[in-house]
Amino acid sequence: MENTFDHLGQKIFEKVDTIIFHDALDASLVVAADIANLIHARNQIGQNTVLGLATGSTPVRVYRELVRLHKEDGLSFKRVITFNLDEYYPMQPEELQSYVRFMNEYLFDHIDIPPENVHIPDGTLKRENVQDYCAEFERKIEEAGGLDVQLLGIGRTGHVGFNEPGSLKKTRTRLVTLDELTRADAAAAFFGEEQVPRRAITMGVGTILKSKKIYLMAWGEAKADIIKRTVEGEITDQIPATFLQEHENTLFVLDEAAASELTRRKTPWLVGPVKWDDKSIRKAVTWLSLQMGKPVLKLTDKDYNHNGMSDIVTDHGPAYNVNIRVFNQLQHTITGWPGGKPNADDSNRPERALPYPKKVLIFSPHPDDDVISMGGTMMRLAEHNHEVHVAYQTSGNLSVYDDEALRYADFVSQYSSHPDEKKLYSSLLNSVNRKEPGGIDSELMLSIKTNIRQVEAKAACRYSGIPDSNIHFLNMPFYETGRAKKDDLTDKDYKLIEELIQKVQPHQIYAAGDLSDPHGTHRICWDAIRKTLHKFQNESWAKECNVWLYRGVWQDWDVSDIDMAVPLSPGERLKKRRAIFKHASQKDQPKYPGSMSREFWMIADERTIQTAKTYDKLGLAEYDSIEGFTKWKISNS
């Protein structure tokens, strides 16, 4: 196959060819183009193309592009034969979570592939027939001439297909037991972990390795750790994806977030020459300080020289000068005045003093991200008399349990004299009983769940000092599918964001920058804000508006990326925790735990305490906890 990739990255640490793209979309377009080129070339000489396909969130944009190429460029799939990696077992093809349904929805229904060319492991088989079926599946791949290209995602366990830790290199298509972490990650799609099947049929590692070309794609911070271990670690059956290191034509295709733990990104000075600027020096020096276990101000020339950073001291040194410079930069990120301190010199503060008070617009993708991720800062802003608005982008109704909704309906039924309302509980109970496990909620149920989340968010806002009049529930339509799979953003979604921003014309915007939430909602929410801001970039208020990105639950900012650090006292952390508790429907057992085995308040506590500890280790003041933000320039949007 024609390789469209210009250069492959540094391979001192990396044991497999890896290419990093700015974002998942750019990367997906390139992979799709390569596949399309192959199909096109084969079509021209009348030969088949055999594709191994994956499901999950990773390949979605590749499929979307292939559909576009079919519709707009006439790319024909008549000579394409496909084999999917896996399917849950047991699973009926029409069920929401079935990979048959997934493939139809994302690809097969929109292209001209003959149905008999499509092969997806069958989740409906009787147990005693599975083994023969798997052998037949392998035989069919052979008969088709073997896989030309295999697309892979990677699970956080390091699985490819559903080859979980412990899968050996020579394994073939078979029935397997899913890892607990995989089941937790699938909980969103199944409306709760209990519903996730325990088993699956998957192609084996050996089956995958026989493919002529393999693309393993990974997007988002949640994959960064397993990518580092797969790309740079030793080959081990505990991370089955590491077997790909032995395949001669495998390419790892990553976005920046998934690549962020690789040595060439994390500590590029260990890989090769670095163009040192303020940002990279800060990153390197904070790393060095933490690595050496020494505060920044105690680092010596020798420390720099022994860690691949001699250039820094040669060009900007001696060490003490560099240390002071970085120390001051870090010091200047710390402020107890996130909205700016009026009547104070603001030349070294993250936020300007004037105007005061400011109009502040906090975007929260789900109804609790605001308090979880920046509850302390939100309270400070309100306390300092800024005009704080909070916009809840989605209803978050998907993460409320049925029994929670029933509880509220029961309450209403008991208090109401209206006959319809009296029946609310029983009719809701009926709809719950009629629902298939993992099925979609009724309209009524969804609206009750939306309302539950709204009253909780309001309670948390009131507790944090935000008046009801400044709370905005946008209920963006892209989220309202009743299932984990979301729609694309449409004009209606953009319009909601646009109108609010236009109305408030904020001096400060806060938005969620943790893009790795497992069902992609945060990423979509940020896209909507980013693109809207781009539209406004030439307006005078937008030029004066600072955008601060917070992270909270899924991953925290690296301390060297923090531009504003808001310290909380122990009392404030406790108060923030109470605001999080107002989201009672999310307590005890968040419905979409994904990686979350702990409650949100615990993670929020842990993250902010950890950030404070890191500042302390770097030699700055010792705080109880810190909420960190990075600054985003509207001109970047």
Cβ atoms of 402 and 445 within 8 Å: the answer is yes
> Closest-CB residue for ligand F6R?
153
- Residue 60 or residue 372: which is nearer to ligand F6R going by CB? 60
For 415, residues 6+ apart whose C-beta sits below 8 A from its C-beta are none
Residue identified by tokens 């088993």 is 199
Cβ of residue 148: shortest distance to ligand F6R, in angstroms? 18
Binding ligand F6R by CB under 6 A: which of 161, 340, 376, 593? 161
- Residue 15 or residue 485: which is nearer to ligand F6R going by CB? 485
- Residue 182 or residue 399: which is nearer to ligand F6R going by CB? 182
Cβ of residue 181: shortest distance to ligand F6R, in angstroms? 10
153 touching ligand F6R, by CB under 6 A: yes
Tokens representing 406 are 């029933």
Distance set, CA 104 to CA 8, 81, 87, 115, 483 (Å): 34, 14, 14, 10, 17
The pattern of x and - marking residues 68 through 107 that bind ligand F6R according to CB under 6 A reads -----------------xx---------------------
Calpha distance 133→89 (Å, rounded): 13
Calpha distance 384→341 (Å, rounded): 9
Cβ of residue 144: shortest distance to ligand F6R, in angstroms? 19
CA nearest neighbour of 237 among 182, 170, 175, 154 = 170
Which of these segments, 37-45, 156-164, 236-244, 264-272, binds ligand F6R (CB under 6 A)?
Answer: 156-164
| 17 beta partners | 251
Cβ of residue 316: shortest distance to ligand F6R, in angstroms? 41
Q: What share of the chain is helix, strand, coil (3-state, %, to 5)?
A: 50, 15, 40
158 touching ligand F6R, by CB under 6 A: no
Which of these segments, 150-158, 227-235, 321-329, 527-535, binds ligand F6R (CB under 6 A)?
Answer: 150-158
Cβ of residue 571: shortest distance to ligand F6R, in angstroms? 40
Looking at residues 3 to 62 of the shown chain, list those that interact with ligand F6R (rule: CB under 6 A). 54-58
CA nearest neighbour of 376 among 632, 601, 619, 598 = 601
Q: Say how many residues touch ligand F6R, by CB under 6 A.
A: 14
Calpha distance 119→80 (Å, rounded): 11
Cβ of residue 99: shortest distance to ligand F6R, in angstroms? 6
- Residue 162 or residue 190: which is nearer to ligand F6R going by CB? 162
Q: 108: how many CB neighbours lie within 10 A of its CB?
A: 21
Calpha distance 487→478 (Å, rounded): 5
Residues labelled catalytic: 164
Calpha distance 320→541 (Å, rounded): 41
For 51, residues 6+ apart whose C-beta sits below 8 A from its C-beta are 35, 80, 81, 82, 83, 147, 148, 149, 150, 151
586 touching ligand F6R, by CB under 6 A: no
| 362 beta partners | 390, 510
- Residue 57 or residue 555: which is nearer to ligand F6R going by CB? 57
Binding ligand F6R by CB under 6 A: which of 121, 155, 593, 594? 155
- Residue 176 or residue 405: which is nearer to ligand F6R going by CB? 176
- Residue 149 or residue 424: which is nearer to ligand F6R going by CB? 149
159 touching ligand F6R, by CB under 6 A: yes
Residues that bind ligand F6R (CB under 6 A): 54-58, 85-86, 153-155, 159-162
